[in-house]
Amino acid sequence: MHKNKRRGRSKPRSKAAIVTLAIASGVAIALFVGAATLAAPGGSKGKPGGGSGGGGTQVLPQSLGTSASCATSGASGINNDVGYGLYVTAQGNSCGSAGEAAALRWTLATGMEDLGTLPGSSGASAGDVADDGTVVGFASGPVAMPIVIYPGSAVPVAMPITTGMTWGSADGLSANGQFAVGVIGSDEVTRPARWIRDSQGWSATVLNVTDVYAPIAPAISNDGTALVNRATRITSSEALVGHAGFWTNGTTAWTALPGYDTLAFDINSAGDWIVGERWEPCASGCTQYSIPVYWVKNGPGWTGPFDLPALDTANSTAHAIAERGGRKVIVGQGSRSKDGIRRAVYWLEQPDGSFQLNRLAALDGRGRAAATAVDVNSAGQVVGTSDASGLMSYAVMWTLP
């Protein structure tokens, strides 16, 4: 399962976003997600990607609400309900008297609950959730630390960071709960990090890359393969160029995925499919726009990126992937050039190997409300965020037909 998925620093993570993480020293580390201008591209490029687009009946979402202390919420992850119950993680916003962010968890029994934070921290963010209900995330400043919340508990526990580092964030968690991924850093550096869980707890290692722009590590598979996105700027006047890649468990090397100017956001539990986006220059009216893509493992290597159908030539992103009934399901977001409103979408694998694009409706079926889908499980339950009336937004769940 994804996951991201980075959050709060949560999805959507478009290339135009700059996400900041406040660390203990009070310095803000900018985690790269890019610097392109988001606008509907002009020209006549047509739909990027193969397969059918925009078909199917819209699916209405269920609102998961927010906690008693938070004004709004946005989902960040969902587990596979394989006997431990259904868990959804979410980010709470404008929480408490100080208006801080909060790590939230939803179950059928509890509804949306606040998971608290570490002593001395001002807020928290919930990232991914494993099948057994384990949650990872981070506690925000002045003490910024990776955290884990175990099933049956609403008390965060600090995860270890490596020697010489001062802060960290756990963003992705494998479905089997054995591996977590994120970043660990100091005032000077940010490194991709992988945590491995055993009977003694968690141990952390970092990937020693020396990028100028901080990497992002959003997701990890059941065998410990971690996604790591890096960035470069060829000249000082050019936009950042993304480099999607991975870090295999037991190695100290980063391997690039095929393609140019790409970002990867999720890897499936088996570790053989990856989804994300690639970027294309606009014909007119903007700088760049994103195209949803996927990669497939082929022996020791990877093939792709393969384009998924988009709503039209405006920005689209694939955020997460799962398998339901032997067919891949990919979820994400897309926009139309005519209005630029973000729409939640999903792609369903067809018998011929192509993908059909379908819309996911916003709350109450409101046509001009923005929504995005960030995660999906093996039962076809999709979570994300939808605008509601009164300028509010809430974590939602769609159940695919």
So what's the pLDDT on residue 309? 95
Decide which of 318 and 152 is more confident.
Answer: 318
So what's the pLDDT on residue 375? 98
Closest CA to 244 of 302, 178, 287: 302
In a domain, 13, yes or no: no
Asked whether residue 160 carries a pLDDT value surpassing 90, the answer given is yes
So what's the pLDDT on residue 22? 30
In a domain, 349, yes or no: yes
Mean pLDDT score, 28-55: 37
Mean pLDDT score, 200-214: 90
Confidence of residue 211 (pLDDT cuts 50, 70, 90): confident
Mean pLDDT score, 197-202: 95
In a domain, 10, yes or no: no
In a domain, 14, yes or no: no
Distance CA 162, CA 171 (A): 17
Residue 189 domain boundaries: 19-249+257-399
- Give per-residue pLDDT as tens, 173-186: 999 999 999 999 99
- Pairing state between β 111-114 and 123-129: unpaired
In a domain, 228, yes or no: yes
- The CATH number of the domain holding residue 35 is 2.130.10.120
Please give the tally of structural domains in the chain: 1
Q: What is the 3-state secondary structure (H, E, C) of the chain?
A: CCCCCCCCCCCCCCCCCCEEEECCCCCEEEECCCCCCCCCCCCCCCCCCCCCCCEEEEECCEEEECCCCEEEEEEEEECCCCCCCCCEEEEEEEECCCCEEEEEEEECCCEEEECCCCCCCCEEEEEEECCCCCEEEEEECCCCEEEEECCCCCCCEECCCCCCCCEEEEEEECCCCCEEEEEEECCCCEEEEEEEEECCEEEEEECCCCCCCECECCCECCCCCEEEEEEECCCCCCCCEEEEEEECCCCCCEEECCCCCEEEEEECCCCCEEEEEEEEECCCCCCEEEEEEEEEEECCEEEEEEECCCCCCCCEEEEEEEEECCEEEEEEEEECCCCCCEEEEEEEECCCCCEEEEEECCHHHCCCCCEEEEEECCCCEEEEEEECHHHCEEEEEEECC
pLDDT > 90 in the chain, percent: 69
In a domain, 51, yes or no: yes
In a domain, 273, yes or no: yes
Average pLDDT score, the chain: 85
| Cα separation values, 205 from 169, 182, 397, Å | 13, 11, 34
In a domain, 4, yes or no: no
